Structure 1
Amino acid sequence: LAPGKGRFTAAARDELIHVLTLYRDAIGTPITIFFDGSSSPRGPRVKTESSEIEILYSRAGQTADDLIERAAHRFQPYGEVLAVTDDHAERDTVIAMGGSASSCWNFILAIQSTLGELREDIQQHNRKERNRFNRGR
């Protein structure tokens, strides 16, 4: 996500948050992002102004997996819960709790597809508006 930066750097974390914010805007579904707080890269943590995207960091003695499992259980009454992780055991746990799970790669493909469709929709809308504006002259 952050070319030239390590996978577990603050820059990669911030770029992930940025991309997921765009994705959230495209799908209109709230997103919660969990990070291991004890192993999170140093650097300022991005704060979001939206109530539709939540960023949580685990505390000392806790892992992001602990938070994911708790959320999978608690969020079930409110709709589908999707956990994105390459940890097979974590995916199995979330599925056993009634949630859904995706590998990181499959989720990246879904994001790219959704954002591509959004780009096309915006371009089409802009063309229509430009044509409508030019006809009115």
Structure 2
Amino acid sequence: MAITVTRDHLKRGALAKQSGCNLETIRYYENIGIMPEPMRTQSGHRIYDQKQQERLRFILRCRELGFSIGELRRLLSMVDSDGYTCGEVHELTQEYLRSVSEKIADLRKLERTLKTISKECAGGDAPDCPIIEALYE
């Protein structure tokens, strides 16, 4: 069946350029099933319609926010089913927010530890570094 290509359709290279996402990443998203298989022209070129372009923007935004592939799959399954509720999306977002808060707390603890052990080191040419010793503790 011949595909009618319009100016709204993009080849993979143009999609990559427009979205700022590299070709390999788009291919990866297709391989793991979060991007649908693109249509092909008669000459075999992959083309992406407006809906696929929007989906890639959604995926990239979620990844930019730090959602894992698993969390992204859950969101996409909600979107794809058309049966999701705002409450379900809110619950998933709250789970992610808790995870982010825990990571921030861990990073703050790491920052305090690094500041403490960094203060113990005067730098210079000393043969024994207190930072290395502290990391062994």
Query: How does the TM-score come out when normalised to structure 1?
Result: 0.31
Greater strand share, structure number:
1
Larger radius of gyration: 2
Query: How does the TM-score come out when normalised to structure 2?
Result: 0.31
Greater helix share, structure number:
2
